[in-house]
Amino acid sequence: MLAIGACALYINERINTRLDLSANARHSLTGQSIKAVNAVTEPLQVTAVMGPDKLQREAVTRLFDQYQKYKPDIELEFVNLETQPARVRELQAAAGGELILTSGTREQRLQSLSERNVTAALTRLTRADGNQVAFITGHDERSSLTQGNSDLRELAARLDTAGLSTQEISLVTAPHIPDEIDLLVIAAPQRRYFPGEVASILDYLGRGGNLLWLLDESDEHGLQAIATELGISALPGIVLDASSSAYGTDSPTFVIIDQLPQHPLNQGIANPLLMPGSKALAITPLAGQQVLPLLQTSPRSWTETGAIAGAVQFDEGSIERQGPLVVAASIERQKQHKMQRIAVVGDADWLASQWIGNGANLEYAERLFIWLTADDQLLAFETTSPRDAKIEASAKTILVMGGGFLFGMPLLLVLIASALWQRLRKG
């Protein structure tokens, strides 16, 4: 017995084999995940900033154990939100905790745990540099270079770590937008565009360039021709949503979006988004382009055109619109023999440094820029539902099964008990 035990310990120490017999190998990584983790050539540091909950930590450990099977140099570190505040501040982690994946000089942050999200983050860590994102400047737009509460410096830094190169361009000094620009961003201008600048943007769109247009609470600043070209414009007023009060928001203009429409971009987003001050969009269908909602408010929302003071409510018979309201939309159309992608968002504050760390804002922003630059492979993640996860049966079969469990099984037990009682009585 001692010899058998010693042999068993020896084998267990040196041979680690796991066999997944579940339907569709649900406890193993998908082929896409294996490919993604094998593509990470440098050591991978995973820092899990979270509370002391044992079950949550075990879930993180189990998931990364599967990745470590294919990449042994994954190092997992737990940082306690409650007992290590200095370390949390050093990492600049989100208030509710997050996963920080670091490889070389690149970094990815996740606020929800799933194989889909981890694999997408690994893919972004290994993507090649090349896609160019240009922010238009010269009209008091949100700056991607200045570190201010209302600016986009933190967003630009996140995009740089994801392999998207960001820059600012002036359409006055450089009226021709180069073909190398993969995405042009209009970030809530405060001053009017010159007609020549508008012509430069229209020329870029005519050549098939991709566009992200962030609106604010004021007018379109001379960009009406762009709105006409896209068939999208802002509705009067600002969006208020009575449903958002359940989240304890400090301002009535804060809109919490926790139900996302069906869109390839929205798959895998688990946390809600915070929109500090949104404009609703009016969409005019145009031939040759597909328009889909990206973000949409609840039915309890409306566009408030009056003063936001005291008790405000939707005014029937006015120009105000009742929800649900589209606050972000995407456009896809063929231009110059390629697929052009455009997104219009009725809010710029959600990307500002002051708010981008709230909810899923940062994660969604990164996915939005990736989708607009047509890197679909970074968003795609296909899984097959387990065959035994859902029982499909006819109504007759369900009736027979239900009757058997409700009446047949108790009757069978009574008959067995009676037979045993009779046998004992005779014996």
For residue 26, the model assigns a pLDDT of: 59
Question: What is the band of 247 on the pLDDT scale with cuts at 50, 70, 90?
Answer: low
Report DSSP letters for 270-316, one per residue: -S-EEESS---EEE---TTEEEEEEEE--TTEEEE-S---SS----T
Instruction: Evaluate if residue 360 carries a pLDDT over 90.
Output: no
For residue 105, the model assigns a pLDDT of: 82
Q: Of 174, 190, 278, which is closest to residue 234 (Cα–Cα)? A: 278
Domain boundary among 125, 148, 182: 125
Tell me what percent of the residues of the chain surpass a pLDDT of 70. Answer: 89
Indicate if 60 and 196 belong to the same structural domain: no
User: Is 5 a domain residue?
Assistant: no
Report DSSP letters for 300-356, one per residue: TEEEE-S---SS----TTSS--BSS-EEEEEEEEEETTEEEEEEEES-SGGGSTTTT
Indicate if 307 and 322 belong to the same structural domain: yes
Instruction: Evaluate if residue 241 carries a pLDDT over 60.
Output: yes
Give dist(CA 132, CA 364) in Å, integer. Answer: 19
Q: What is the mean pLDDT of the chain?
A: 85
Domain boundary among 375, 391, 410: 375
The CATH number covering residue 120 comes to 3.40.30.10
Q: Which domain holds residue 333?
A: 129-375
Indicate if 83 and 198 belong to the same structural domain: no
Indicate if 133 and 110 belong to the same structural domain: no
User: Is 71 a domain residue?
Assistant: yes
Question: What is the band of 377 on the pLDDT scale with cuts at 50, 70, 90?
Answer: low
Residue 384 in tokens: 């097959």
User: Is 412 a domain residue?
Assistant: no
Helix ranges (H only) for 16-131 are 31-38, 54-68, 85-91, 115-125
pLDDT tens digits for 111-168?
778 887 788 788 778 776 567 899 999 999 999 888 888 899 989 888 877 778 899 9
Indicate if 321 and 218 belong to the same structural domain: yes
Instruction: Evaluate if residue 417 carries a pLDDT over 80.
Output: yes
For residue 125, the model assigns a pLDDT of: 80
Indicate if 35 and 133 belong to the same structural domain: no
Predicted TM-score (pTM) above 0.95: no
Instruction: Evaluate if residue 330 carries a pLDDT over 80.
Output: yes
Q: Which long-range contacts (CB under 8 A, 24 or more apart) does 141-148 make?
A: 141/186, 141/187, 141/188, 141/189, 141/190, 142/187, 142/188, 142/214, 142/348, 142/351, 142/352, 143/168, 144/168, 144/185, 144/187, 147/353, 148/353
For residue 130, the model assigns a pLDDT of: 62
Indicate if 257 and 217 belong to the same structural domain: yes
Indicate if 62 and 158 belong to the same structural domain: no
Instruction: Evaluate if residue 19 carries a pLDDT over 70.
Output: no
Instruction: Evaluate if residue 95 carries a pLDDT over 80.
Output: no
Q: How far is CA 112 from CA 48, 160, 268, in A?
A: 11, 22, 9
Question: What is the band of 383 on the pLDDT scale with cuts at 50, 70, 90?
Answer: very low
The CATH number covering residue 276 comes to 3.40.50.880
Indicate if 242 and 165 belong to the same structural domain: yes
Lowest mean pLDDT among 126-130, 263-267, 369-373: 126-130
Indicate if 185 and 260 belong to the same structural domain: yes
Higher-confidence residue of 249 and 231: namely 231
User: Is 220 a domain residue?
Assistant: yes
Higher-confidence residue of 377 and 297: namely 297
pLDDT tens digits for 275-297?
888 999 999 989 999 999 999 99
Q: What is the mean pLDDT of residues 52-70?
A: 91
Higher-confidence residue of 11 and 187: namely 187
Instruction: Evaluate if residue 402 carries a pLDDT over 70.
Output: yes
User: Is 401 a domain residue?
Assistant: no
Higher-confidence residue of 427 and 70: namely 70
For residue 250, the model assigns a pLDDT of: 67
User: Is 54 a domain residue?
Assistant: yes
Indicate if 78 and 145 belong to the same structural domain: no
User: Is 20 a domain residue?
Assistant: no
Give dist(CA 280, CA 324) in Å, integer. Answer: 10
Indicate if 103 and 138 belong to the same structural domain: no
Higher-confidence residue of 246 and 102: namely 102
User: Is 305 a domain residue?
Assistant: yes
| Beta bridge mates, 48 | 78, 99
Domain boundary among 99, 125, 151: 125
**Number of domains comprising the chain:** 2
